[in-house]
């Protein structure tokens, strides 16, 4: 009987303490959201970054201005340390605005919107005109063989799959055309490639993005452009009417030698584990057509806001929390690799990293690259996020820039913010990725959601071999 009573008392104490902890967390998280929504700074920051600085392609003036300005802003919010981490980055420049037209059999021409893919070589100075061979992908191209491809412009026209709910999956199903399409076509003797823009929207915006010639010798490189979806539909129709339809384009982009740039880093030093690091970040570089507000200005200002919010609500983290604004995610990932390499060199043990690089839309949750123990821990936090309409907690990818931290940080948990993705690819890498496409509240909700996750990770992350005693599931 005495034993039973003791067990009952212990159970009660456990329940009460679990409840008290859950309540403490819920109060802390409410404070974070309140501050973000009523007194947030992410939207003003994004306004400046997008409208005063603008596009930030690696190696460009915009990128360097963004480095300076974000450092100055981090300096102003009272972090323990702020510094620049040098990194050599590629410098590709677009040159004059591209020009393209379709020439039908009767000699009529129709101009269509194109843009060079990042990393492409230029066309000859007077442009390139050739017959077109349309394919739905690389496999179809290979099946055609050299005879049918040599000397032609290869037109990759596989659209995104509209029926996929998660648009990043549809993106993943198409992007090989853009990234590897030129190299594969060049191997078959093509004169050039044009690729249907990777977007759901049928409109006039060409969407750029990185491409690679792989290990092809320089002499075999061919110019690669994206064509707007409307342009692609038109070209496809005209090709059906007349297979002899020709495509002309002229581009003056080129690759210059690497230049020095920087990751921008700020830190709140941990009060219990100053030598264990948690990272929150986005990438500071962008493509050059819009101002990169969604990709990834949003992730940059949200990551800065995470540390500002912690200061504002008076939360002193146990671990050292770093904001890292990575340079050169878009066309090289040099910043992400550099940060991980330096961390390894300096024996900085990283336990958690979170990236926001999927747009500034309403946050829906996170995807995790994590062991089961920590993922189960995360799932136990679901009730804390429900009042904020955050429901999505799935295993999956995290973010390109934080990926390199996996090597050298055994057991590190990686996470990616998952905003609503339906509108993202309408803007991605195109001239309409601009500030007006970002909603203030949606952006702020993302920052608060990220901060809440870091807060919970800071308190309850399960490190390899150590079971933290503070878990709310204890």
C-alpha 353/C-alpha 273 separation (Å) is 16
- Which of 22, 37, 65, 259 contacts a copy of itself by CB under 8 A? 37
Give the burial class of 335: count Cβ atoms within 10 A of its Cβ; 0-12 exposed, 13-18 middle, 19 or more buried. buried
Choose one: 81-89, 100-108, 137-145, 160-168; the region binding a copy of itself (CB under 8 A).
Answer: 160-168
Determine the size of the site formed for a copy of itself (CB under 8 A): 27
**Phi (first) and psi of residue 55, to 5 degrees:** -65, 155
C-alpha 127/C-alpha 125 separation (Å) is 5
- Which of 85, 131, 362, 380 contacts a copy of itself by CB under 8 A? 362
* Partners of residue 156 on adjacent β-strands: 135, 195
Residue placing its CB nearer to a copy of itself in the complex, 66 or 378: 378
- Which of 392, 406, 463, 471 contacts a copy of itself by CB under 8 A? 392
> Which pair of tokens denotes residue 305?
């806001």
- Which of 3, 4, 5, 38 contacts a copy of itself by CB under 8 A? 38
Give the burial class of 185: count Cβ atoms within 10 A of its Cβ; 0-12 exposed, 13-18 middle, 19 or more buried. buried
Binding mask 190-219 for a copy of itself (x = CB under 8 A): ----------xx------------------
Q: Cα 103–108–112 angle (5° rounding)?
A: 55
Q: Is 329 a catalytic residue?
A: yes
**Phi (first) and psi of residue 273, to 5 degrees:** -125, 70
- For position 233 contacting a copy of itself by CB under 8 A, the verdict is no
> Which pair of tokens denotes residue 62?
């915009």
Do strands 273-283 and 246-250 pair parallel, antiparallel, or not at all (unpaired)?
unpaired
Evaluate whether 104 touches 126 at the Cβ level (below 8 Å): no
Binding mask 326-355 for a copy of itself (x = CB under 8 A): ------------------------------
One-letter-per-residue 3-state SS of 134-146: EECCHHHHHHHCH
416-435 residues near a copy of itself, rule: CB under 8 A: 420, 422-423, 426
Residue placing its CB nearer to a copy of itself in the complex, 375 or 392: 392
Residue 322's SS3 state is strand
Residue placing its CB nearer to a copy of itself in the complex, 26 or 110: 26
C-alpha 378/C-alpha 274 separation (Å) is 23
Residue 126's SS3 state is coil
| Selected catalytic residue, list 98, 184, 329, 355 | 329
Choose one: 15-23, 107-115, 159-167, 204-212; the region binding a copy of itself (CB under 8 A).
Answer: 159-167
- Which of 91, 276, 350, 364 contacts a copy of itself by CB under 8 A? 364
112-151 residues near a copy of itself, rule: CB under 8 A: none
Binding mask 16-35 for a copy of itself (x = CB under 8 A): -----------------xx-
Task: For residue 158, give Cα distances in angstroms to 162, 171, 273.
Answer: 12, 11, 50
Catalytic residues: 329
Which stretches of the chain bind a copy of itself, using CB under 8 A? 33-34, 37-38, 162-163, 165-167, 200-201, 362, 364, 387-389, 391-392, 420, 422-423, 426, 439-442, 445
């Amino acid at each position: 009987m005495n034993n039973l009573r003791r067990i009952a008392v212990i159970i009660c104490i456990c329940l009460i303490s679990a409840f008290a902890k859950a309540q403490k967390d819920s109060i802390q998280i409410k404070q974070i959201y309140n501050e973000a929504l009523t007194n947030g700074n992410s939207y003003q920051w994004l306004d400046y970054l997008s409208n005063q600085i603008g596009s930030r392609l690696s190696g460009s003036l915009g990128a360097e201005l963004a480095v300076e300005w974000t450092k100055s802003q981090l300096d102003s919010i009272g972090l323990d340390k702020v510094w620049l981490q040098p990194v050599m980055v590629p410098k590709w420049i677009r040159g004059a605005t591209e020009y393209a037209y379709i020439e039908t059999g009767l000699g009529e021409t129709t101009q269509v919107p194109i843009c060079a893919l990042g990393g492409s070589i230029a066309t000859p100075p007077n442009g390139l005109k050739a017959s077109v061979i349309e394919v739905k992908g690389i496999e179809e191209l290979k099946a055609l063989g050299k005879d049918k491809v040599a000397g032609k412009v290869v037109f990759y026209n596989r659209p995104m799959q509209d029926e996929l709910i998660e648009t990043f999956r549809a993106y993943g199903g198409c992007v090989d055309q853009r990234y590897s399409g030129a190299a594969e076509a060049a191997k078959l003797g093509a004169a050039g490639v044009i690729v249907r823009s990777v977007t759901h929207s049928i409109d006039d915006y060409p969407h750029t993005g990185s491409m690679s010639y792989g290990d092809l010798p320089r002499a075999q490189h061919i110019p690669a452009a994206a064509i707007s979806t409307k342009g692609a539909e038109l070209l496809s129709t005209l090709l059906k009417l007349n297979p002899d339809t020709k495509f002309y384009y002229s581009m003056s982009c080129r690759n210059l030698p690497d230049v020095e740039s920087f990751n921008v880093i700020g830190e709140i030093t941990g009060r219990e584990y100053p030598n264990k690091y948690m990272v929150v970040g986005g990438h500071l570089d962008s493509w050059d057509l819009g101002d990169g507000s969604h990709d990834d200005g949003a992730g940059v200002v949200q990551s800065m806001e995470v540390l500002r919010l912690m200061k504002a609500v008076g939360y002193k983290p146990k671990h050292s929390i770093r904001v890292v604004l990575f340079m050169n995610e878009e066309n090289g990932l040099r910043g992400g690799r550099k940060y991980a390499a330096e961390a390894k060199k300096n024996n900085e043990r990283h336990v958690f990293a979170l990236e926001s690089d999927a747009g500034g839309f309403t946050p829906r949750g996170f995807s995790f690259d994590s062991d089961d123990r920590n993922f189960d821990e995360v799932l136990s936090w679901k009730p804390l996020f429900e009042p904020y309409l955050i429901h999505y907690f799935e295993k999956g990818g995290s973010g390109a820039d934080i990926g390199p931290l996996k090597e050298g940080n055994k057991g590190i948990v990686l996470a990616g913010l998952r905003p609503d993705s339906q509108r993202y690819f309408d803007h991605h890498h195109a001239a309409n990725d601009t500030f007006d496409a970002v909603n203030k509240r949606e952006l702020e909700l993302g920052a608060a959601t990220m901060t809440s996750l870091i807060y919970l990770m800071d308190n309850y992350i399960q490190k390899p071999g150590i079971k933290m005693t503070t878990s709310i599931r204890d």
